[in-house]
Amino acid sequence: MIANVVVDIPSKNVDKIFDYKIPPDIEEIVKVGVRVEVPFGSRKIQGFVINISEQLSSDIDMSKVKSIIRVKDFKPELTPELIKLSEWMANFHLVKRISALEIMLPSAVKAKYQKIYQVNDPENLPAHILNRFNKEGILTFDQAQQSEIVTDLEGYVKSGQLVKDTIVGQQLTKKYATCIRIMPTDRLDEIIESLHKKEKQLDILNYLIEHRNEDVLLKTLKEEGFSNSSINTLVKNQVLEKYNSVVARDPYENRIFEKEHNKSLTNDQQHAFTQINEAVQGNESTTFLLHGVTGSGKTEIYLQTIENVLEKGEQAIILVPEIALTPQMVNRFKARFGDEVAVLHSGLSKGEKYDEWQKIRDGKASVSVGARSSIFAPFEKLGLIIIDEEHESTYKQEDYPRYHAREIAIWRSEYHQCPVVLGSATPSLETFARAEKNVYQYLELPERVNKQKMPEIELIDMREELKEGNRSMFSEQLKQAIQERIDKNEQVVLFLNRRGHSSFVLCRDCGHVPQCPNCDISLTYHKTHDDLKCHYCGYSEPMPQLCPSCESEHIRQMGVGTQQVEEQIYSTFEQAKVIRMDVDTTSRKGAHEKLLTAFGEQEANILLGTQMIAKGLDFENITLVGVLNADTMLNLPDFRSSEKTFQLLTQVAGRAGRHKKKGEVMIQTYNPEHYAILDVTKNDYLSFYQKEMKFRQIGKYPPYYYLVNLTISHFDKTKVLKAAKHAHDILIQHVSSKSFILGPSPSPLSRINNQHRFQILIKFKSEPDLLTALQYLDDYYHEQYVKDKLSLEIDINPQMMM
């Protein structure tokens, strides 16, 4: 038998299928989807079996075909569907097959390679060398380097006393726990009889007999009320024995979720539920757009539809855009479905994520809740895929391999013949346009579930505040509204989409602004460590006391970030208690949930944060939302800047007045006439959509045209220019006159990490030969990258233009 294997080398040169013989002794366990260790040249590497056949896939001589060394999995890590999906991704997204396969797996199962020296002839090795090796006769190359004996060892390799090898391991560490079991015996009846007067010991024995087919944790026995002394006595008398067993890590093991039952649906909810459920029952690969205002009960529809999916014996995936949204979503799903739910997001440790993923693979979980990468959850009977807040750009992977979760979801829905639900209060223009053309089925929830009115939204012109001499971050109206909420013991959400203390530092005498030496961007001031940081390459330097250019003392922090706003809140409002949520405060594991729980338990009356607080939060005591500067995204060099501004402001405004208390929203802006901001105040998505679509049509942007963005980067600007011209010339030959090629031109961020960056933007409607040209460029510049680190990034349907 022959195994077709994709090897774990992320290189274009070996981005193909290799044939390996399957030794007869492991034929039973080599299955499609398992990882295997194979010889490749002079080394051993990991590979994925993607097919098994009786014939070779090429004309190579059978005598030259090598054999698989060993199998690394008892069960396949990948399903046949995911292997097929990786082939589609490799072609559509121009990614290497191994990169597509590896992104589907949790990082804990990725291969870890170690070069080693192994003892071959121990009798002829000097004792001082032999003592360096472990019991198995192995010494790692790293250990040899640290001991500075590599040269000596190489001599013993040449003479045959040692051999060099590569161990293919993995980064997975297992969690063990102490378990208790009855020692094997044929005298069990006698033992039970002898314990008839020792009730406590007898109870333990009966409990273990009842659970004899499972691992019983020592911890569980103690929780059941059995005493440590009784257990130890039975162990001492050799009736019971302790042993270690691998246990799954459950990030929610210490949490109790109160059972939640179905809520009654409104007429609009019932209509949407019926339409989606019909597609579930009819096995239809329909894509729905569920367009519901904030607070309209989209999550309840998700829950009730998933319940029907589970009753049908199928599984469901629900995606959320950020970790910040996960805690509240997890609470609702765990409360409804309990242990059926597996959670997959980057806030978990490697081990926890692997164990949750394994629950799905082994069929112990039927619902997956998580961020972008959980779209690859290895379910084999998918009945429903839901993408909540579908407009969010975080569903697009911005680094290699680039993919959009929505595209993967639609591919999987066609494979499984199941529906996809795209939910949002502010759908992306591309999605809404497809719904208008009946490519997607449109479902609307125009009202909040409790008939609660949408919050009143007031625009505050900060230009007028400046004229009145108010230079603080708070207008007089917002300041007064915050104080009223504090006095009433109500809660406030304040939104500013800029972290740090100050956005930049400026010398008022000469105008000098400290720049990052590696990137064409100004440094951001962070007060916590009193330093200036670059948010692109991580460079930092101390805050200067004097201007580095003219040595003036008049160097000041300009612009405002969340850190500075927090200080201003405390200096302005005496009774304020602030929880700040941004990248700086949520970097530790579990920080999102901890902060949101604290706010939900009213340990603070003001929640201040960046866009991570704009979506998904549902607290009944929030009656005021303040947007401190609505203009931060409007002026970005991105054709989606107006759309992102409208979406973000609508989402954050929706946090107010979601329950019985009336909500109010105040938006501070220097552009009160801008249509994106005005339409937020009217809560009028359709009006914004129609205006924005006109600009998209004039500018030839999505959804009227597709986009491909090519970014070329290198330390040498001349080489970047030459490569950009070459790429442009190739594209011209393969693209018709109906399409547009813009550039090459400097990227909006023209230098990051000392690499100069130029970009080429292609706008097209249908170009059959374009993929061929892009494939050629991808192959050609892969060679250039290997030789000279000249990089070409190809982004199909880009979300970020920076």
Beta strands at 531-533 and 540-542: parallel, antiparallel or unpaired? antiparallel
Question: Which runs of E-coded beta strand occur in 34-186?
Answer: 35-40, 43-53, 70-71, 111-119, 138-140, 162-170, 175-182
Which token pair is 240? 């019971």
Residues 478, 460: contact at Cβ < 8 Å?
yes
Single out the residue of 646, 695, 85 nearest to residue 391, CA to CA. 646
Three-point CA angle 355, 359, 365, nearest 5° = 140
Residues 796, 632: contact at Cβ < 8 Å?
no
Ligand-binding annotation for 418, yes or no, is no
Residues 365, 339: contact at Cβ < 8 Å?
yes
Three-point CA angle 130, 131, 136, nearest 5° = 75
Residues 613, 607: contact at Cβ < 8 Å?
yes
Ligand-binding annotation for 516, yes or no, is yes
Three-point CA angle 303, 307, 311, nearest 5° = 170
Listing DSSP states for 549-564 in one string gives TT--S-EEEES--HHH
Question: Rounded distance, CA 650 to CA 413, Å?
Answer: 30
Which are the contacts of 426, defined by CB distance < 8 A and separation ≥ 6?
Answer: 391, 646, 647, 650, 651, 685
Listing DSSP states for 369-390 in one string gives EESGGGGG---SSEEEEEEETT
Question: Rounded distance, CA 143 to CA 163, Å?
Answer: 16
Question: Rounded distance, CA 646 to CA 675, Å?
Answer: 9
Ligand-binding annotation for 179, yes or no, is no
φ and ψ at residue 467, rounded to 5 degrees: -60, -35
Which token pair is 654? 């929706």
Which are the contacts of 765, defined by CB distance < 8 A and separation ≥ 6?
Answer: 704, 705, 706, 738, 739
Q: Assign residue 238 a region: left if phi > 0, alpha if psi is -120 to 50, beta otherwise?
A: left
Question: Rounded distance, CA 127 to CA 775, Å?
Answer: 57
Neighbours of 711 (CB within 10 A): 20
Helices assigned H by DSSP within 404-523: 405-416, 429-436, 462-467, 476-487
Neighbours of 800 (CB within 10 A): 13
Single out the residue of 681, 685, 654, 689 nearest to residue 297, CA to CA. 654
Three-point CA angle 260, 261, 263, nearest 5° = 120
Angle between helix 298-311 and helix 267-281 axes, rounded to 10 deg? 30
Q: What stretch of H or E contains 746?
A: strand 740-752
Angle between helix 641-653 and helix 685-699 axes, rounded to 10 deg? 170
CA distances (Å), origin 488, targets 445, 659, 755: 32, 16, 54
Single out the residue of 547, 609, 539 nearest to residue 752, CA to CA. 539
Residues 268, 448: contact at Cβ < 8 Å?
no
Cβ neighbourhood burial of 23 (10 Å; 0-12, 13-18, 19+): middle
Give the dihedral sign, CA 617/618/619/623: positive
Which are the contacts of 338, defined by CB distance < 8 A and separation ≥ 6?
Answer: 257, 259
Neighbours of 490 (CB within 10 A): 16
| Binding-site residues from annotation | 507, 510, 516, 519, 534, 537, 547, 550
| Binding-site residues from annotation for Zn(2+) | 507, 510, 516, 519, 534, 537, 547, 550
